[in-house]
Every structure is written in structure tokens, then in C-alpha cells.
């Protein structure tokens, strides 16, 4: 949904919003990168990489010896300390890939008067910061159709440069690709796309068994519909206009349709054991970052459904 600008003609408003994404990104990128690094630095303390047992050179933990295992696996020095046998486990060093898709379509450039930043800026800040956290934890991060997975310490710079040099059409949803079964996908979008498009996206991304998280990033005005009187609304990606004679009379229907749309998205993600949550730009970016990182830290078993049932980020 796009809010009106009463100081501009509708055609000019539509054009400005259509190309606003690229101008906003180019003008705001240095600040976004700095803000992402600041947030990542604030939350990285106390967080650890998602370490797993496996082949590697770094010690992870001792665990009890299980009957039937080769005796050569016993760590006799540790076992000599008490009456139990222990195995020395190494940390799994085969880094796993997380694909992050920040929606950069024109509708994300919207920001109401009460918003501190646009949906686009919030999505990019969180995407950059999450990438930095994941790389610091030993993961690889990629952007579908834009950047191959990397574990580079300057991952934010790579993402930002890839976006700045991207001359393709800004789509709301990630391009079709088949991630590995061990991969995770994070999609940050306003998800105002039609449900058939969202279903097709989910079907493609989950076909290999990969897990994912959908975060609907919305402006406060898109939650509360604070409009009244005669208002002209402009669709930022197509330029279509619709006029409300008494906008306040639309509020109940609008709120009901938004709730239904979210229920439909949640029903689809529940089928796949994916996560779905909403995030309003009036809330803290760090709060969303912690939610995403915490959701990835849990095991892929029953604990995942516990996070799914939690409150929105």
C-alpha cells in the first residue's frame, strides 16, 4: 500500500516512487552500511556461531562414549579423570549457506511521516547486519541471483556493491532457484504480492527441503490505516490510482484484508515448517536481528515450532 503525497500531482508521485528505490539506495548506502555494522557489533557479543559436531580441527566438546563406537575414538586422558569414557568431538567446519533476500522493489521505498526510515532502509540494514553476524559465526551468505555465497569478512561491502551495480528489474520476491537441502533462506519483504506468487516462491525454495523465514516489513501507516477524508492512493509499482471519498470508512475492511493475507501466508509457511513474522519499522532493527539470529540458532526439530509460535519481531 502507498500513502498519498498531497503536494505533488499523482503522476509525479508515481514516477518518484517508481525510481525512489535506486536513488534512496545510492544516497543512503554509506549510512545503511554504518548502521548495519553498529547493530551487528551491539548484538554480536555473547552470540556464538552455530557450531555442530563433525570433521574439523577445532575442539568442540567432550561427550559420553556410546556402546558400539570404535574404541579408538575414546579420549583416554579425559576418561581417566572419572569412571566414564569420553569422546573428543571436533567442530563441524563445513560452513552452511544462508541466502538473504532484501526486497528492493519500489513499494519498499515508502515511509510515512511518523516513520524513522523506509521499509527499504530497514530491510537493508537488517540484511547487512545479519550477514555480518552469520559470517562471524562461520557461515556463508549469498543473495539469490545477485551474489554467490561467501564467507568473506567484508560481506556487507560485497552485498552493497552487488546491489549498486544491479541493473535488473527490482522484483518483490527472490528469483527462482533451488537451494541445497541444508541451506536456509531469509526473505525480507512487505509481501503485498498476490498469494499465487507467494505460493509459487515457497514451493520453489522449499522443493529441496531447505528451511526459511519470511519477515513482512511494514510501515506503521500500513498497520493502522490513519487516513481520513478524500485521499488519492497511488500504487508505486504500476502507477494505478484509487480515490477514497471518505478514507476512514475503509479502515475496517482494510484491516480485515491484511489479517486474511497474513493468515494465508502463515498457513503456507506452517505446511513447510518455515517461520513467518511481521516487523513494523517503528520497532527496533536490533530486535528483528536478534529474532532472526535466534531462530537460526535453534535446532531443526521441535524447537523450531516453538519459535514459530512466538510473537512478531
pLDDT in tens, 18-31: 344 434 444 565 67
Mean pLDDT of the 171-182 span:
88
pLDDT band at 37 (very low <50, low <70, confident <90, very high): confident
pLDDT of residue 236: 66
Integer Cα distance of 233 and 43 in angstroms: 39
Which one has a higher pLDDT value, 243 or 192? Answer: 192
* Torsion (CA) 250, 255, 258, 263 in degrees, nearest 10: -140
- 206-226 core/surface letters (b: 16 or more CB in 10 A; e: else): beeebbbbbbbbbbbbbeebe
User: Which three three-digit cell numbers place residue 123?
Assistant: 530491510
- pLDDT greater than 50 at residue 310: no
Q: Is 110 exposed, middle or buried (0-12, 13-18, 19+ CB in 10 A)?
A: buried
Which one has a higher pLDDT value, 157 or 34? Answer: 157
Cα–chain center distance at 126 = 7
User: Which three three-digit cell numbers place residue 15?
Assistant: 514516477
Mean pLDDT of the 96-110 span:
91
User: Which three three-digit cell numbers place residue 296?
Assistant: 537460526
Mean pLDDT of the 46-64 span:
56
- pLDDT greater than 70 at residue 163: yes
pLDDT of residue 54: 52
Integer Cα distance of 258 and 78 in angstroms: 58
Domain boundaries, the chain: 10-50+96-308, 59-90
| 3-state helix/strand/coil string of the chain | CCCCCCCCCHHHHHHHHHHHHHHHHHHHHHHHHHHHHHHHHHHHCCCCCCCCECCCCCEEEEEECCCCCCHHHECHHHHCCCCCCEEEEEECCCCCEEEEEECCCHHHHCCCCCCCCCHHHHHHHHHHHHHHHHHHCCCEEEECCCEEEECCCCHHHHHHHHHHCCCCCCCCCCCCCCCCCCCEEEEEECCCCCHHHHHHHHHHHHCCCCEEEEEEEECHHHHHCCCCCCEEEECCCCCCEEEECCHHHHHHHHHHHHHHHHHHHHHHHHHHCCEEEEEECCCCHHHHHHHHHHHHHCCCCHHHHHHHCCCCC
- Angle (CA) 39 94 204, round 5°: 75
- pLDDT greater than 80 at residue 5: no
CB 221 within 8 A of CB 251: no
Mean pLDDT of the 24-48 span:
66
**At residue 274, what are phi and psi to the nearest 5 degrees?**
-95, 170
Mean pLDDT of the 113-139 span:
87
- pLDDT greater than 80 at residue 13: no
CB 1 within 8 A of CB 106: no
pLDDT in tens, 180-218: 888 999 999 999 999 999 999 999 999 888 999 999 999
Integer Cα distance of 210 and 99 in angstroms: 10
Q: What is the pTM of this model?
A: 0.70
Mean pLDDT of the 235-249 span:
68
Amino acid at each position: 500500500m502507498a500513502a498519498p503525497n498531497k503536494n505533488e500531482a499523482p503522476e509525479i508521485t508515481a514516477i518518484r516512487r517508481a525510481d525512489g528505490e535506486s536513488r534512496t539506495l545510492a544516497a543512503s548506502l554509506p549510512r545503511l552500511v554504518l548502521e548495519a555494522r553498529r547493530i551487528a557489533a551491539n548484538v554480536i557479543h555473547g552470540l556464538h556461531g552455530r557450531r555442530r559436531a563433525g570433521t574439523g580441527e577445532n575442539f568442540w566438546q567432550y561427550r559420553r562414549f556410546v556402546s558400539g563406537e570404535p574404541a579408538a575414538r575414546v579420549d583416554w586422558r579425559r576418561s581417566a579423570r572419572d569412571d566414564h569414557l569420553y569422546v573428543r568431538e571436533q567442530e563441524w567446519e563445513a560452513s552452511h549457506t544462508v541466502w538473504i533476500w532484501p526486497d528492493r522493489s519500489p513499494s519498499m521505498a515508502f515511509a510515512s511521516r511518523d516513520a524513522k526510515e523506509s521499509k527499504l532502509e530497514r530491510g537493508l540494514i537488517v540484511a547487512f547486519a545479519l550477514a555480518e553476524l552469520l559470517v562471524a559465526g562461520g557461515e556463508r551468505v549469498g543473495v539469490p541471483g545477485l551474489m554467490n555465497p561467501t564467507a568473506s569478512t567484508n560481506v556487507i561491502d560485497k552485498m552493497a556493491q552487488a546491489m549498486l551495480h544491479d541493473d535488473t528489474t527490482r522484483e518483490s520476491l527472490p528469483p527462482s532457484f533451488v537451494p541445497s537441502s541444508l541451506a536456509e533462506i531469509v526473505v525480507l519483504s512487505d509481501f503485498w504480492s498476490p498469494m499465487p506468487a507467494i505460493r509459487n516462491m515457497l514451493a520453489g525454495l522449499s522443493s529441496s527441503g531447505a528451511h526459511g523465514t519470511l519477515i513482512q516489513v511494514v510501515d506503521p501507516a500500513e498497520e493502522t490505516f490513519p487516513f481520513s477524508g478524500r485521499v488519492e492512493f497511488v500504487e508505486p509499482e504500476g502507477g494505478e490510482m484509487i480515490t477514497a471519498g471518505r478514507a476512514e470508512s475503509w479502515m475496517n475492511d482494510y484491516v480485515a484484508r491484511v489479517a486474511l493475507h497474513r493468515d494465508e501466508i502463515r498457513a503456507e509457511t506452517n505446511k513447510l515448517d518455515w517461520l513467518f513474522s511481521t516487523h513494523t519499522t517503528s520497532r527496533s532493527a536490533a530486535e528483528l536481528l536478534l529474532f532472526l539470529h535466534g531462530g537460526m540458532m535453534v535446532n531443526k526439530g521441535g524447537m523450531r515450532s516453538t519459535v514459530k509460535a512466538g510473537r512478531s519481531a
